[in-house]
Structure 1
Amino acid sequence: MKRRTPMLLCAAATTVALFGTAACSGSDVKSSSSAGSGTLTIQGDAGNPTLVENFNPFASTALHGQFLMYEPLEIPSPIDGTYTPFLATGYKFTNPTTLVYTLRPNVKWSDGQAFSANDVTFTFNLLKKFPALDTRGIWAQVASVSGAGNTFTVTFKQPNVPFAAQVAQVPIVAEHAWSSVADPVKYTDTKPVVTGPFTLDTFAPTQYKLKKNPNYWQADKVTPSEVAFPAQASNQATNQLDVTSGKFDWAYTFIPDVKNTYVNRDSAHNTYWFPPGGTIGLFLNLTKAPYDNVSFRKGVSESLNRTTIAQKAVNGYLDQASMSGLILPNLQKWLDPSIPNSGNITQSASQAQQDFAAAGYHLTGGKLIGSNGKQATMTIVMPGNFSDWVAAAKEVATELGQVGIKVSLDEPQYAQYSTATQGGTFDAAMGGFAGSGDPYTDFNNGLNSSFAAAVKTPTVNNFQRFKDPSVDQALGALAAATDPSAQRNATFALEQVMYNQVPVVLLYYGGSWGLFRDNHFTGWPSAQNPYTLPTNYTNAMLVVATRLQSAS
């Protein structure tokens, strides 16, 4: 099964905003008829095929349609961090711990009541009162919030400029609708009161529909008159057949040989875009020898042909990943120009053997033997149903075998994989690195020593348990930086650590598998217009829905 590219943190973030300036861009699309232009059909909600009605925007089990109903303040692009404003028109940091949003005027809830700063303040305090709703960890960073007039102010416990992205993406709920909800954690919100472009129309176990919200503040930029979400089958083969038959305007599915199996089925209308949505890497457990030795890690990295690995894993749709830790070319503006070849590593068996020798290992009789007289071994763990990871790991095993390392694969269910990686009880593991659109968030999640819990103590990030005081210092500097030069310098320092210390052996870019039909609507994200990832299970849906135009 090809799955959505995993990240070490599910929430997207954005590039660090400049001190005292707004960091947003409008959705520069042509106005459409407010009456709408037909039905937009989206693949995505798993139902097996029965759907469970839940539109609580804070619930992990919420149906994806909630992204088209509830709006946040702003949405940063997971590609390059560019903001699209929604309930806020912009923001500024008055100092590194004080963030002020300007709220959009003349917004109404779908029941006709006026939206105000009170709704925003209520929403954030709701997350504080019910921590289970606070999936973005807002109150771990925020000291207080307040709203008055057309402004909403957030005060941080300590400087954390990049965290503005998490604040911006909290879905805002109506105080008058939610203040009487006894248990917001269990609330399924079957009659949503929203500010977004669509409201709930009909619901059935096999499909639900949204209808255009006549009170929407930018209704003239919403082309579809309704959105249909059929239940997605649990069988991947069935899903692929549904997609290739033209059932959806917007689908998200990995399809081998996409040009022949999808595009050529209707070359006049079928298109695809598979941009990098994250990086897939080989995580070596740094609490174990020999993986704790940087020379050994470099040897592993030099032994691998990443282009071949990418070909095996994702059919060559994407290529090798930069060891800078950045997703390129998305974050090209942050790349340290002193890093050779943009951080791309060329396979070199001779260089690998030099690195292994520095770690005390030598090739003898086709085996890489350490000072203890034993062959170097490695067990790579990954979920057995993540087919691209399995394919990549098999190629990694083959290539490391060629330099004398004995590699075996462990392919458990996801739950067992998660327990091993979070608890640090593994040799090596396939996993996701980066993908937020923001260098700080990516490096912080992957390298911050605060996540490096003791073995058998679960952690949510930095599974390899990397520790370096200079990295923590650079992360702190980047968190507090409001000057562009300071931001770049701190980011460059983190890239140098990734490249020279190899805390994770980055392999290839994992794709976002966007598939579109433009016989009804145009304006989909693409390589020519990469305004967001084509993920129809995140708030990118809201950005896309307000940019689509009628094909007629």
Structure 2
Amino acid sequence: MPLLATKWSLNRKTNTFRVYLRKGVKWQDGKTFTAKDVVTTFYLGYLYNWAIWRYIDKVTAVDDYTVDFHMAVVCAPMVLERYVLRTQIRSDAVYGKYASQVIALLAQGKKSDSEEMKKLRAEFDQFRPEKMIGTGPFILDPKNITESEITLTRFDGYWDAEKIQFDKIKLYNGETPVVTPLVMAKEVDYATHGFPPATERQFIQMGIRIIRPPLYSGPAIRFNHNIYPFNLKEVRQAIAYAIKKEENAFVSLGDSAKRQIYMTGLSDNLVPQWLSEAVIKRLNKYDYNPDLAAKILTGLGFKKGADGIWVTDKGTKMEYELLVPAEFADWAAAAENAAEQLTKFGIKTTVRGITYAQHPTELNAGRFQMAIAGWGAAHPHAHFSYYTNLITYNYPSGLGPGMNFPLVQTTKSVGKVDLDKLITQSAEGYDLLQQKKVVEKLALAFNELLPIVPLWERYGNNPALDGVRVTNWPKDGDPIYRNSAYADSFVVIMILNGTLKPVTK
């Protein structure tokens, strides 16, 4: 669906990805959209260690409407396209002075980990633009923002305005507890929250349709690997065996949660596309087996105390806190159930809920013992899932120590591996078969090491109200619903292409 880019091409001789930009596009402050905005955006991304900079070394404005991305390391076309074409472009008029400083520092040989670049990033973190401007069909005006909602108003200068059927869109702030009564009052036309099974049944009884798109991801238990014994793979394996993941999935999200079968860090939907039958047969599914979990811990020299709580070989009780964003009803339910199962097994686990806005900050800072956080990614290329699993909330992100899982590991399945390099190599070059070999190595290593323990894969249980304010929702089975509810929202697509329409009064 071409938006700001009208076409693009890859020159394999020069390893250059060229993007041709749409002419006649205006920013909401009246300025013209040009290649400068694209260049600014990606150099700002360098400041924040965007993954695309593992492959490219230069972004150049060829002219006002043509941009070249030069690859120092050849990147798989479908990965490169995703990184380039799905990036939201920022205004050069607003952010250009910071991007110019990044370019100047790079010209001096300063890299992302240099003190100068860190200082610039700290300065940019404090920058607050006077206005939020975009090139899209709706304007975000601060005067239309309250603590509970935002009203987006139509931008008549939008380049494809004739397709847009709505004059305004209201977005409600809040997680599941806040949004549920709004859905039941039919004040909301569409929501993507994780609604508990009982709530979903109420929606259906009210005649509200439920759409179940795949997300290709879900919640996992993440560990602080600085804390003994979470740095032992055997302990993480024992935890995986001690949790009945089918139960955890069902109590959390009913029909919209499916336990992870292959435990590779990839969506089970993607496993057959990336792994050979021979590799799949080697995978440990970590089916519920508390006896085996106990045997593993005993083999480490751990013992169960008289109170039923496991004690490590160093004499410390296995008593931990499990951090979770309190407002995420499905993740909160998963945390409570996992804690209950682990406590029953003898790993005493207490759930601590914090606000979802603070949760990423705590994880990046490493201020947790165990935490519920996401695994996987809504893209068919495996590279994105392993980047999420192993880089996000880990020290290579540049945002803090995170879970501090070392990415150089020695395994029984594939020998010594540098997982960071493998993630880059998984999207390297033009040979898909070679990429699959790298992904197979990542999958086997992940399956053995379990740096995080995926609990289940989430599907949407998204209420879609038809006939009150919005209509023309496609029927179930329409290919558009194969898009992830978040990463490639089909609702956004259907607003932009004019599929969804207002109810005629």
Q: TM-score range by the shorter chain?
A: 0.7 to 0.9
C-alpha distance after superposition, 1:95-146 (max 9, x if no partner): 4984423425665437999977xx1234323663x67997957668643222
Distance in 1, Cα, partners of 2:186 & 2:357: 34
Stretch of structure 1 that moved more, 486-495 or 89-98: 89-98
Q: Match of 2:151?
A: 208
Distance in 2, Cα, partners of 1:213 & 1:416: 36
Q: Match of 1:333?
A: 273
Q: Is 1:507–2:455 an aligned residue pair? A: yes
2:36 to 116, 121, 124: 121
Q: Match of 2:366?
A: 424
Distance in 2, Cα, partners of 1:96 & 1:436: 30
Q: Is 1:309–2:248 an aligned residue pair? A: yes
State the one-letter code of the partner of 1:382. Answer: V
Q: Match of 2:413?
A: none
1:282 to 205, 210, 221: 221
Distance in 2, Cα, partners of 1:320 & 1:545: 33
Flag the structure with more relative contact order, 1 or 2, with Cα contacts below 8 A and sequence separation at least 6.
Answer: 1
Change (3 A) 1:515 1:388: closer
Stretch of structure 1 that moved more, 411-420 or 157-166: 411-420
Three-state SS of the structure 1 residue aligned to 2:83 is helix
Q: Match of 1:28?
A: none
Q: CA deviation at 1:202?
A: 12
Distance in 1, Cα, partners of 2:360 & 2:219: 16
Distance in 1, Cα, partners of 2:170 & 2:229: 50
Stretch of structure 1 that moved more, 130-139 or 151-160: 130-139
1:241 to 163, 170, 181: 181
Distance in 2, Cα, partners of 1:367 & 1:173: 53
Three-state SS of the structure 2 residue aligned to 1:444 is helix
State the one-letter code of the partner of 1:255. Answer: F
Whether the 8 Å contact between 1:449 and 1:466 is mirrored in structure 2 is no
Distance in 1, Cα, partners of 2:224 & 2:428: 30
Q: Is 1:145–2:59 an aligned residue pair? A: yes
Q: CA deviation at 1:304?
A: 1.1
Taking the TM superposition and a 5 Å limit, the aligned residue runs for 1:92-491 are 92-95=9-12, 98-103=15-20, 107-109=24-26, 119-125=34-40, 128=43, 136=50, 142-148=56-62, 151-161=66-76, 162-172=79-89, 185-189=127-131, 192=133, 194=135, 196-197=136-137, 204=144, 208-211=151-154, 213=156, 216-217=159-160, 222=163, 224-229=165-170, 232=172, 237=177, 239-256=179-196, 257-266=198-207, 270-273=209-212, 275-276=214-215, 278-322=217-261, 323-329=263-269, 332-337=272-277, 338-340=279-281, 344-361=285-302, 366-372=308-314, 375-412=317-354, 418=360, 420-437=362-379, 438-448=381-391, 451-452=394-395, 459=400, 463-468=404-409, 469-491=417-439
Distance in 2, Cα, partners of 1:111 & 1:422: 34
Distance in 2, Cα, partners of 1:525 & 1:99: 41
Whether the 8 Å contact between 2:35 and 2:66 is mirrored in structure 1 is no
Distance in 1, Cα, partners of 2:8 & 2:367: 43
Unaligned runs of 5+ in 2: 99-122, 410-416
User: Please, what is the CA RMSD of the aligned residues?
Assistant: 4.4
Distance in 1, Cα, partners of 2:139 & 2:360: 36
TM-score (normalised: structure 2): 0.73
Three-state SS of the structure 2 residue aligned to 1:380 is strand
Whether the 8 Å contact between 1:252 and 1:515 is mirrored in structure 2 is yes
Whether the 8 Å contact between 2:239 and 2:342 is mirrored in structure 1 is yes
Aligned length: 456
Three-state SS of the structure 1 residue aligned to 2:219 is strand
Unaligned runs of 5+ in 1: 1-83
Q: CA deviation at 1:507?
A: 0.8
Structure (1 or 2) with the greater helix fraction: 2
